[in-house]
Chains A and B, each alone.
Chain A
Amino acid sequence: MALSELPKLDTTLDVSVSAAGRLAAIAAGEAVQTELHDDLRRETAVVDVRGFNLWYGPKQALFEIHMPIPKGRITALVGPSGCGKSTLLRSINRINDLVDTVRTTGDILLNGESIFAPHVDVIDLRKRMGMVFQKPNPFPMSVYENVVYPLRIDGVRDRAVLDEACERSLRGAALWDEVKDRLHDSAMGLSGGQQQRLCIARAIAAEPEVLLMDEPCSALDPIATNKIEELMEGLRGEYTIVIVTHNMQQAARTSDYTAFMYLGRLIEYGSTATIFQQPHLPETLAYVTGRFG
């Protein structure tokens, strides 16, 4: 991408120069006000991140994040590596609780209710969200058992239900044709890309309300990527999807909203069209056009 967009370098040079000053200020620890676009305020937020800070031990990884995630939409999280996209995603289903050193302030609401409230059952919370991790992490079991795992732990024993969920999920993850003859072989025998799609299939098997996807396509070839994008397309409206991606075209193609993060701050957040065409902030433009850092 960098090479193909090289010519743009000159046209956006002035932007990146002015952006560099602001980013340097952020790096120096200055507080930033998130540029939150108005069209977001018209949406109903299924997940609402409010003034959220997160520390890994003494190191702060997220700073004052305010981020409503609209219901039934696809939201893309973009930003340079290490800016806290995964951390934010992992905070939403509280999987970050596992990291012993994590400390948080602020709140995240799911349908208006705090996910940190004492009476909230974190297990129930996670059952309502599917998650695809950055690295494929299939269980060392058969393909079939991998996919139906969320149903198994819910106590579903009915073979027909399981079979149906398995096939539907695998089709959704564009994996069915490749594995339909080896459903009962070990998932560890699949290729990296197949494993990632298997994880996607597992995440959607229990039909969660919110689907959190952390770079689901980073290990996939263009065909599979295309299929995953088709899947997201199919799920749009029904499911709320949050996707982390480093692929700007993908973000531009698939998402309704895009959030740009930098060094643990949410810099700008608005509809994808605006973010990619006329972002309010020059640093966003610099980033989405690949002229950055």
Chain B
Amino acid sequence: MAVTCATLGRRRAHRFVVSNRFPRVRASRTTTRRVRIADAIARWVITVGGLATVVSVMGVFVFLLAVAAPLFRPATWGSLEPLATWPHGAEVATLATDESRALALWADTQAVWSVAPLQTPGMPVRLAPLEGRPVTVLQWDPLAGLAMAGFSDGAVATLRAASRTDWHPIGSAPEPVGSLAVGAEWWDGTAVWRRVETERAVRISFTVDVADLAPPAATSPVRRLDFVSGPDGFVQVLLHDDGTLEAVRVRQRRNMLTGQTTLFRTVVPIAWERRPEAGLPEYVGLSGLGDTLLMLWPDGVLHRYDVRTAEHAQLAEDLDVLPEPGCRVTVARLLLGRSTLLVGDSAGRISLWFVVPVEDDAAGARRIVNPRRFEVASRSPVTALAISHRSRIFAAGCADGRVAVWHATSAKQLGELRVPVEEPIRVLAFSPKEDALVVAAGERAWTVAMRPGHPEVSLKALFGPVWYEGAPHPAHVWQSSSGTDDFEPKFGLMPLVFGTVKATLVAMVLAVPLALLAALYTSEFMRPRWKAFVKPTIELMAALPSVVLGFLAALVIAPWVASHLPVVMASFGTVPLALILGGHVWSLLPGGIRLAGARVRPFAMAVAAFAGFTAAAPVGRAAERWLFAGDVMRWLDGQIGGPWGGWWLILLPAALAIAAVVAVPCWDRCVRTPRAASETVVAVLELLKFAAVLAAAAGLAAGGAALLSFAGADPRGGLVGTYVQRNALVVGVVMGFAIIPIIYTIADDALTAVPEHLRSASLAAGGTNWQTAVRIVVPAAAGGIFSAVMVGLGRAVGETMIVLMAAGNTPIMSWNIFNGFRTLSANIAVELPEAVRNSTHYRTLFLASLVLFVMTFIVNTAAEAVRLRVRRRLREL
């Protein structure tokens, strides 16, 4: 302080000198207005920008959530609306409504149809197409618009029973329609008129007429009847009173010239095993493909006939579908698609049965399984079953007037309702659009509006294994669409999550070591002049659009790898080996040459790497001969060779690690390098040591492989297996191109940012470059390196185009690196454009994006947490 004052004093004394050096100090220093305003603006812009980022990320999350959340909303139900008209006293066999929910339709056991307005009052109209001829059995499929009636003389009539909608201008419609409000209905005595617009109305009517009356094949009365219709005809099964069972195949052919249809009928009698003690089966059902015939008796006996060839039908299975004695089968129905049988019993249970292939059976044997059972809360006997014609939803009505609705696959209950009378439910039906349920109990009937929501989706169905129809066991399946109408979409997200994890893992396993070693090399060992060339080159790789990489992977690399698999696999070993050997050879060179050659070392390494690639071809071929019985593709497929070769190769990396950890200290203890040894001697000893480690690893792997093979384990089916051209290995290699530059750049920056004085300190303490790198530089840069890996991981998790194009997109869960997969991101990219807006599929895809979002969020948060910890530990260098 004193010094300063003294100086100032002197300055005043020699003002003319000092003022040159120090311009006069202003009396008061103030921050100008402009600076203040700029400061305020900057602060605002930064705050707003930061908040906007947070808000938009949150916004994306909220948006995804908003679209996906309705998946989990329960079904909604309207109230029970009593039906205006109901055929008192008639024995209703089948109940239905038309598409537009204007008509209530029912058929009694005598094939007399009644049509009544559903929404407005009005007297029902009766339609009796068979003109009073006594009917022994009636089967009506409202969806197909087909009904079949059997007669006591053994004949069968085919009826077309369908509703139709005609558009009329108001002018040509009957007068009362003109006075209707838009949307209102009027019953003209035979049909419903609905005014849909001010100028137009529709007439919704129902007609039924006889299409065909087949002459009796057997003269005994028809007692049971079932049919399956297809595009060019239908198949019937008829069970006559005397026990004759016939399969009737009817093919329709339309004459193009006359427009007439001719029916070609083939009748095949089926031999079946009767049960004299139980009489005729109560229920006869034909599966949707017409290949299985089910017969069910009230005592619970179910016979399954294989009727793939009706002439050679045979009893395939005979089982009891009732879980306990003392109860009886009360009602049975086939679910949509006619593959799943629902069996209701007198104890309020509905069990579900379908045929599945027997696993590992080459002969194609099948068996029937019972994957699920549903229970009505009151355990009152099931009296009626209804199926939806759109999905796997079914309703069960009980003797106590309760109705329960479930989804057959997800087992989710959509609701339970109760009619206001204590009487058994007689019949039940879903409207064709699945937007209402018609219930009849006692002498009354009701409709109830419903919105099922997305019953096939539940957390369990999304993330747990689900036992789908026709599958041998519960499984995680993603299959969102198919060609057929009665196909059930399967929304298991696990295969996609698995695919994402698999892609990420394979890519990271290949990319992380390479990228980090490259970063370590360029930051610690490479001359700056070389680095100035190498680093931008690697970074340029990141500029390759991933669609180009994907395209290359799918069309160039995948086929090439498929035809050169042994070479590719061998190069994973030969290239590092060549580099290490090259290093040893380098240290064997005389000191002078080494010193002079130091400048071209990266070039020498490139030569070594190239030599490694060249060696891969013969090594690969030799390995194929010795390890894989001469053909690796067939070996992978499991056709030839034993498991030993595969195990040996898989165990080799681990064996190398063990050998390096165990054998190196052993060697160091046994082989003492003489104090005065020349460099060449040391280099030779090092080379010998390396060879010894290799030999030890090979031996270790051989032993392990022999042990595992002896124990009967085979790597095929696990980590390796049948080769598919577009597979995880190809994706891993190509995704490496995308993520290596990122990981490399960030890691290299982190390593380079380690202050030079730390390196100097370590080197001055006598550390080698390698010790300095490993003990000082890498730990100091650990946070940055970790960030690099995590950024790479984030990129790999979200990477879309490469996996889309090169992964084969098969949503399977197999660790086989030679098999494909489908990732969440690729799945979204593929399916979202064709998903119907707000459908289950659409919302599930949004849920998939949400899962992806959460996955990357977790990865990034974990990364950030770890990075902060690391940074706190290494506070300021």
Interface residues of A (CB under 8 A from B): 3, 93, 95, 98, 100, 118-119, 123-124, 126-127, 129-131, 133, 135, 137-141, 149-150, 152-154, 186, 188-189, 199, 202-203, 206
Task: Tell whether, in the assembled complex, residue A199 and residue B763 are in contact, meaning their CB atoms are under 8 Å apart.
Answer: no
Task: Tell whether, in the assembled complex, residue A154 and residue B761 are in contact, meaning their CB atoms are under 8 Å apart.
Answer: no
Task: Tell whether, in the assembled complex, residue A188 and residue B876 are in contact, meaning their CB atoms are under 8 Å apart.
Answer: yes
Q: Is B382 an interface residue (CB 8 A)?
A: no
In the bound complex, what is the Cα–Cα distance between A141 and B758 (angstroms)? 11
Q: Is B36 an interface residue (CB 8 A)?
A: no
Q: Which of A118, A140, A150 touches B592 (beta carbons < 8 Å)?
A: A118
Residues of chain A with a CB closer than 8 A to B766's CB: 123-124, 126-127, 150, 153-154, 206
- Residues of B750-809 at the interface with A, using a CB-CB cut-off of 8 Å, are 755-768, 771, 775-776, 779-780
Residues of chain A with a CB closer than 8 A to B759's CB: 98
User: What's the nearest-Cβ distance from chain B to residue A57, in Å?
Assistant: 13
Task: Tell whether, in the assembled complex, residue B761 and residue A123 are in contact, meaning their CB atoms are under 8 Å apart.
Answer: no
In the bound complex, what is the Cα–Cα distance between A119 and B677 (angstroms)? 12
Task: Tell whether, in the assembled complex, residue B528 and residue A149 are in contact, meaning their CB atoms are under 8 Å apart.
Answer: no
Given A100-B527, A141-B779, A152-B775, verify A118-B595 contact (CB < 8 Å). Answer: yes
Task: Tell whether, in the assembled complex, residue B779 and residue A202 are in contact, meaning their CB atoms are under 8 Å apart.
Answer: no
Bin the interface of chain B by size. 20 to 34
User: Helix, strand, loop or mixed for chain B's interface?
Assistant: helix
- Residues of B1-19 at the interface with A, using a CB-CB cut-off of 8 Å, are 3
Residues of chain B with a CB closer than 8 A to A126's CB: 763-766
Q: Is B26 an interface residue (CB 8 A)?
A: no
User: What's the nearest-Cβ distance from chain B to residue A284, in Å?
Assistant: 27
| Chain A residue with the shortest CB-CB distance to B3 | A3
Q: What are some 15 contacts across the A-B interface (CB < 8 A)?
A: A95-B760, A98-B756, A98-B759, A118-B591, A126-B763, A129-B764, A131-B764, A133-B761, A138-B761, A139-B758, A140-B779, A150-B765, A152-B775, A186-B873, A186-B874
Task: Tell whether, in the assembled complex, residue A119 and residue B764 are in contact, meaning their CB atoms are under 8 Å apart.
Answer: no
Q: Is B679 an interface residue (CB 8 A)?
A: yes
In the bound complex, what is the Cα–Cα distance between A152 and B592 (angstroms)? 31
In the bound complex, what is the Cα–Cα distance between A90 and B3 (angstroms)? 36
Residues of chain B with a CB closer than 8 A to A100's CB: 527-528
Task: Tell whether, in the assembled complex, residue B771 and residue A153 are in contact, meaning their CB atoms are under 8 Å apart.
Answer: yes
Task: Tell whether, in the assembled complex, residue B758 and residue A137 are in contact, meaning their CB atoms are under 8 Å apart.
Answer: yes
Q: Is B877 an interface residue (CB 8 A)?
A: yes
In the bound complex, what is the Cα–Cα distance between A186 and B876 (angstroms)? 11
Q: Is B875 an interface residue (CB 8 A)?
A: yes
User: What's the nearest-Cβ distance from chain B to residue A187, in Å?
Assistant: 11
Interface residues of B (CB under 8 A from A): 3, 527-528, 591-592, 595, 679, 755-768, 771, 775-776, 779-780, 873-877
Task: Tell whether, in the assembled complex, residue B767 and residue A123 are in contact, meaning their CB atoms are under 8 Å apart.
Answer: yes
Residues of chain B with a CB closer than 8 A to A206's CB: 765-766
Task: Tell whether, in the assembled complex, residue A199 and residue B875 are in contact, meaning their CB atoms are under 8 Å apart.
Answer: no
Task: Tell whether, in the assembled complex, residue B776 and residue A133 are in contact, meaning their CB atoms are under 8 Å apart.
Answer: no
In the bound complex, what is the Cα–Cα distance between A100 and B528 (angstroms)? 8
Given contacts A140-B875, A202-B765, 18 further A-B pairs with CB under 8 A are: A98-B763, A100-B527, A118-B595, A123-B767, A129-B764, A133-B764, A149-B762, A149-B767, A150-B765, A153-B762, A153-B765, A153-B771, A186-B873, A186-B874, A188-B874, A188-B876, A202-B761, A206-B766
Task: Tell whether, in the assembled complex, residue B764 and residue A186 are in contact, meaning their CB atoms are under 8 Å apart.
Answer: no
Q: Which of A98, A118, A130, A153 touches B775 (beta carbons < 8 Å)?
A: A153
Residues of chain B with a CB closer than 8 A to A186's CB: 873-875
| Chain A residue with the shortest CB-CB distance to B769 | A123
Residues of chain A with a CB closer than 8 A to B771's CB: 153
| 4 closest Cβ pairs, A-B complex | A127-B766, A131-B764, A137-B757, A150-B765
User: What's the nearest-Cβ distance from chain B to residue A68, in Å?
Assistant: 22
Task: Tell whether, in the assembled complex, residue A140 and residue B874 are in contact, meaning their CB atoms are under 8 Å apart.
Answer: yes
Task: Tell whether, in the assembled complex, residue B757 and residue A133 are in contact, meaning their CB atoms are under 8 Å apart.
Answer: yes
| Chain B residue with the shortest CB-CB distance to A99 | B756
Q: Which of B591, B592, B761 touches A139 (beta carbons < 8 Å)?
A: B761
Task: Tell whether, in the assembled complex, residue B768 and residue A123 are in contact, meaning their CB atoms are under 8 Å apart.
Answer: yes
Residues of chain B with a CB closer than 8 A to A140's CB: 758, 779-780, 873-875, 877
Residues of chain A with a CB closer than 8 A to B592's CB: 118
Residues of chain A with a CB closer than 8 A to B595's CB: 118
User: What's the nearest-Cβ distance from chain B to residue A153, in Å?
Assistant: 5
User: What's the nearest-Cβ distance from chain B to residue A222, in Å?
Assistant: 20
Task: Tell whether, in the assembled complex, residue B757 and residue A135 are in contact, meaning their CB atoms are under 8 Å apart.
Answer: yes
Residues of chain A with a CB closer than 8 A to B873's CB: 140, 186
In the bound complex, what is the Cα–Cα distance between A191 and B759 (angstroms)? 21
| Chain A residue with the shortest CB-CB distance to B757 | A137
User: What's the nearest-Cβ distance from chain B to residue A147, in Å?
Assistant: 11
Residues of chain A with a CB closer than 8 A to B875's CB: 140, 186, 188-189
User: What's the nearest-Cβ distance from chain B to residue A251, in Å?
Assistant: 23
Task: Tell whether, in the assembled complex, residue A137 and residue B765 are in contact, meaning their CB atoms are under 8 Å apart.
Answer: no
Residues of chain A with a CB closer than 8 A to B776's CB: 139
Residues of chain A with a CB closer than 8 A to B775's CB: 149, 152-153
| Chain B residue with the shortest CB-CB distance to A128 | B766
In the bound complex, what is the Cα–Cα distance between A3 and B7 (angstroms)? 12
Residues of chain B with a CB closer than 8 A to A153's CB: 762, 765-768, 771, 775
In the bound complex, what is the Cα–Cα distance between A131 and B758 (angstroms)? 13
Residues of chain B with a CB closer than 8 A to A3's CB: 3
Task: Tell whether, in the assembled complex, residue A188 and residue B765 are in contact, meaning their CB atoms are under 8 Å apart.
Answer: no
In the bound complex, what is the Cα–Cα distance between A46 and B764 (angstroms)? 18
Residues of chain B with a CB closer than 8 A to A189's CB: 875
Residues of chain A with a CB closer than 8 A to B764's CB: 93, 95, 126, 129-131, 133, 203
In the bound complex, what is the Cα–Cα distance between A13 and B763 (angstroms)? 46
Given A133-B760, A140-B779, verify A188-B3 contact (CB < 8 Å). Answer: no
In the bound complex, what is the Cα–Cα distance between A93 and B767 (angstroms)? 12
Task: Tell whether, in the assembled complex, residue B763 and residue A139 are in contact, meaning their CB atoms are under 8 Å apart.
Answer: no
Given A95-B763, A126-B765, verify A119-B679 contact (CB < 8 Å). Answer: yes
Residues of chain A with a CB closer than 8 A to B779's CB: 140-141
In the bound complex, what is the Cα–Cα distance between A130 and B767 (angstroms)? 12
In the bound complex, what is the Cα–Cα distance between A203 and B765 (angstroms)? 7
In the bound complex, what is the Cα–Cα distance between A188 and B758 (angstroms)? 12
| Chain A residue with the shortest CB-CB distance to B761 | A137
Residues of chain B with a CB closer than 8 A to A154's CB: 766
| Chain A residue with the shortest CB-CB distance to B596 | A118
Residues of chain B with a CB closer than 8 A to A133's CB: 757, 760-761, 764
Residues of chain B with a CB closer than 8 A to A139's CB: 758, 761-762, 776, 780
Q: Which of B527, B595, B757 has the most CB of A within 10 A?
A: B757
Residues of chain B with a CB closer than 8 A to A137's CB: 755, 757-758, 760-761
In the bound complex, what is the Cα–Cα distance between A98 and B876 (angstroms)? 23
In the bound complex, what is the Cα–Cα distance between A133 and B763 (angstroms)? 12
Task: Tell whether, in the assembled complex, residue B760 and residue A98 are in contact, meaning their CB atoms are under 8 Å apart.
Answer: yes
Task: Tell whether, in the assembled complex, residue B757 and residue A149 are in contact, meaning their CB atoms are under 8 Å apart.
Answer: no
In the bound complex, what is the Cα–Cα distance between A52 and B771 (angstroms)? 30
| Chain B residue with the shortest CB-CB distance to A126 | B766
Residues of chain A with a CB closer than 8 A to B877's CB: 140, 188
In the bound complex, what is the Cα–Cα distance between A124 and B763 (angstroms)? 11
| Chain A residue with the shortest CB-CB distance to B873 | A186
Residues of chain B with a CB closer than 8 A to A149's CB: 762, 765, 767, 775
Residues of chain A with a CB closer than 8 A to B763's CB: 95, 98, 126
In the bound complex, what is the Cα–Cα distance between A123 and B765 (angstroms)? 9
User: What's the nearest-Cβ distance from chain A to residue B601, in Å?
Assistant: 15
In the bound complex, what is the Cα–Cα distance between A206 and B755 (angstroms)? 24
| Chain A residue with the shortest CB-CB distance to B768 | A123
In the bound complex, what is the Cα–Cα distance between A202 and B760 (angstroms)? 13
In the bound complex, what is the Cα–Cα distance between A152 and B873 (angstroms)? 21
Residues of chain B with a CB closer than 8 A to A118's CB: 591-592, 595
Residues of chain A with a CB closer than 8 A to B762's CB: 139, 149, 153
In the bound complex, what is the Cα–Cα distance between A15 and B595 (angstroms)? 50
Residues of chain B with a CB closer than 8 A to A138's CB: 761
Residues of chain A with a CB closer than 8 A to B679's CB: 119
User: What's the nearest-Cβ distance from chain B to residue A135, in Å?
Assistant: 6
Task: Tell whether, in the assembled complex, residue B761 and residue A199 are in contact, meaning their CB atoms are under 8 Å apart.
Answer: yes
In the bound complex, what is the Cα–Cα distance between A153 and B766 (angstroms)? 8
Residues of chain A with a CB closer than 8 A to B874's CB: 140, 186, 188
User: What's the nearest-Cβ distance from chain B to residue A110, in Å?
Assistant: 14
In the bound complex, what is the Cα–Cα distance between A98 and B592 (angstroms)? 20
In the bound complex, what is the Cα–Cα distance between A206 and B528 (angstroms)? 32
